[in-house]
């Protein structure tokens, strides 16, 4: 009789080892290695019909491959459709992650209801809630439709059988960490279970042409729990972001085989569920103070859409030996770099000043075009000189103090003009090749010093 072998698998990254180690060599996490029994490959397969799959596939020239029209299912949420690249693609497997309580289940239940009202048969599978709990949430959201079917089950074999019997047009799995396969000996939520269950769901989606959305838990670092292989297997990875104390939620695509990965959708959480925000610039600027030092407006690109947001800075003398640097919504290291440029190239003595920077509204900005707005906000607070409320600032800052060109400058300035801004401070390299909005003064600058002269003089 063959002897059973054991292996140790890291629960954070999926690294496998023949012996136990305290620190994972791959991800450097401590005490994440769990012992598993290796089994011979099982001939058992899930009982779902794969008659629609192609057999006898063989390599052919790429010139001979025929491409038909891509069928997409559109929801009522325009923001949701744009993030996915224009709608839900048939046969796609989409992973959605986010913090607990952020609204992942609420959004997918609303999307399921919208599809069901368009005569699509939708199966909502929950491994965390009972059917009564889902019904209570549906009543709170005002969801009433007969084409939405709910199932409370964690065994993937039963789920696959129901999918084969019902032949749904759309499936939601909430969440992948609660689903298990009997053939895998590890507990639900482990690396092996998550990997195998996702693999089986991918086969169902591709062979049956059913779009499947799976919800994934996140770790304390904010990444989707389980191996990174999980993100490589699916067609799209969406992150649902936001802060508990803000009502706004951002749906961001970090991987999308059917569209751009730069798109974002903005929603607002209300009593009756999520409501899409079609003009986020007005929302983020509606409470902006006027005539206050440290406040600057920047035009940032969220995907292909420009969004105007307010940057606020507070600079005050430090009471400790080392000055504090805190940032919310922008990279902390980038703020430190810009402050070093202001000290060296502009001559502002900031080494004994505490600096606090915040993006109003809870939005996260990670593009270099906000550098100049960060520098202007810090200098404005330090010198206690407010900027004009009708000014918008755009530009990237180099280490020598130069202001470098940014992309999509025309869309950024056009959005500012729509909201009533009268003057735009932009890189001089971006001047030319496009028409300025009527009534908008465009000033091109080459350095941070020039920008501060125009804005704080």
Asked, as a colleague might, if the bond just before 255 is cis with ω within 30 of 0, I would say no
Residue 100 assigned to a binding site: yes
**CA 443/CA 425 separation, integer angstroms:** 5
Say if residue 266 carries a ligand binding annotation: no
CB 127 within 8 A of CB 154: yes
Instruction: Please state, in angstroms and rounded to a whole number, the distance separating the CA atoms of residues 389 and 351.
Output: 29
Strands 391-393 and 396-397, sheet pairing: unpaired
CB atoms within 10 A of CB 318: 14
Is 91 marked as a binding-site residue? Answer: no
- Residue 432 annotated as binding site: no
SS3 at position 199: helix
Distance of CA 231 to the CA centre of its chain: 13
Any binding-site annotation on 96? no
208 Cβ contact list (under 8 Å, min separation 6):
48, 49, 50, 52, 91, 163, 167
Strand 212-216 to strand 93-98: parallel, antiparallel, or no bridges (unpaired)?
parallel
- Rounded-to-integer distance, Cα 229 and Cα 211, Å: 20
Run of H or E including 124:
strand 122-126
98 marked ligand binding residue: yes
Q: Are 135 and 150 in contact (CB under 8 A)?
A: yes
Give CA–CA dist 236/213, Å, rounded.
10
How far, in Å, CA of 438 to CA of 418, rounded? 10
Cβ atoms 361, 248 nearer than 8 A: yes
Q: What is the maximum alpha-carbon separation in the chain?
A: 87
Q: Which residues pair with 97 in a beta bridge?
A: 216, 239
Handedness of CA 391, 396, 397, 403 (dihedral sign): negative
Q: What is the DSSP string of 393-442?
A: E--EE-TTSBEE--S-HHHHHHHHHHTT--EEEEEGGG-SSSPPPTT-EE
**8 Å CB contact between 284 and 360:** yes
Q: Is 391 annotated as a binding residue?
A: no
Residue 12 annotated as lining a ligand binding site:
no
Place of tokens 């028409």: 435
Binding site listing: 98-105
Binding site listing for ATP: 98-105
């Amino acid at each position: 009789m063959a002897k059973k072998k054991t292996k140790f698998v890291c629960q954070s990254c999926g690294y496998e080892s023949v012996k136990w180690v305290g620190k994972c060599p791959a991800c450097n996490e401590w005490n994440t290695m769990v012992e598993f029994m290796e089994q011979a490959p099982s001939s058992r397969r899930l009982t779902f019909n794969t008659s629609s799959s192609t057999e006898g596939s063989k390599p052919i020239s790429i010139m001979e491959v025929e491409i038909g029209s891509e069928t997409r299912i559109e929801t009522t949420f325009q923001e949701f459709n744009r993030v996915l690249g224009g709608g839900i693609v048939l046969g796609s497997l989409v992973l959605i992650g986010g913090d607990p309580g952020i609204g992942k289940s609420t959004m997918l239940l609303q999307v399921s209801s919208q599809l069901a009202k368009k005569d699509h048969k939708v199966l909502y599978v929950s491994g965390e809630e009972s059917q009564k709990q889902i019904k209570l949430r549906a009543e709170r959201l005002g969801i009433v439709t007969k084409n939405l079917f709910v199932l409370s089950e964690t065994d993937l074999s039963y789920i696959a059988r129901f999918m084969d019997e019902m032949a749904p047009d759309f499936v939601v799995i909430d969440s992948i960490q609660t689903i298990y396969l009997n053939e895998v000996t590890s507990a639900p939520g482990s690396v092996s279970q998550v990997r195998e269950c996702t693999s089986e769901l991918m086969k169902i989606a591709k062979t049956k042409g059913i779009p499947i959305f799976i919800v994934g838990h996140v770790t304390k670092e904010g990444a989707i729990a389980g191996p990174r292989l999980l993100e490589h297997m699916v067609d799209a990875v969406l992150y649902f972001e936001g802060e508990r104390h803000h009502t706004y939620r951002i749906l961001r695509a970090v991987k999308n085989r059917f569209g751009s990965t730069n798109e974002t959708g903005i929603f607002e959480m209300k009593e009756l569920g999520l409501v899409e925000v079609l003009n986020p610039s007005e929302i983020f600027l509606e409470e902006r103070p006027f005539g206050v030092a440290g406040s600057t407006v920047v035009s940032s690109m969220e995907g292909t859409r420009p969004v105007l947001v307010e940057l606020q800075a507070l600079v005050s003398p430090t009471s400790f030996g080392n000055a504090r640097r805190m940032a919310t919504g922008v990279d902390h290291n980038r703020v430190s770099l810009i402050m070093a440029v202001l000290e060296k190239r502009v001559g502002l003595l900031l080494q004994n000043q505490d600096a606090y920077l915040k993006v109003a509204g809870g939005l996260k900005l990670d593009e270099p075009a906000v550098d100049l707005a960060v520098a202007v906000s810090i200098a404005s607070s330090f010198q206690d000189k407010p900027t004009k409320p009708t000014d918008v600032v755009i530009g990237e800052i180099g280490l020598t103090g130069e202001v470098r060109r940014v992309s999509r400058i025309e869309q950024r300035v056009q959005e500012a003009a729509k909201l009533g801004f009268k003057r735009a401070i932009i890189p001089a390299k971006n001047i030319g090749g496009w028409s300025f909005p009527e009534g908008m003064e465009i000033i091109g600058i080459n350095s941070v010093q020039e920008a501060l002269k125009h804005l704080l003089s």
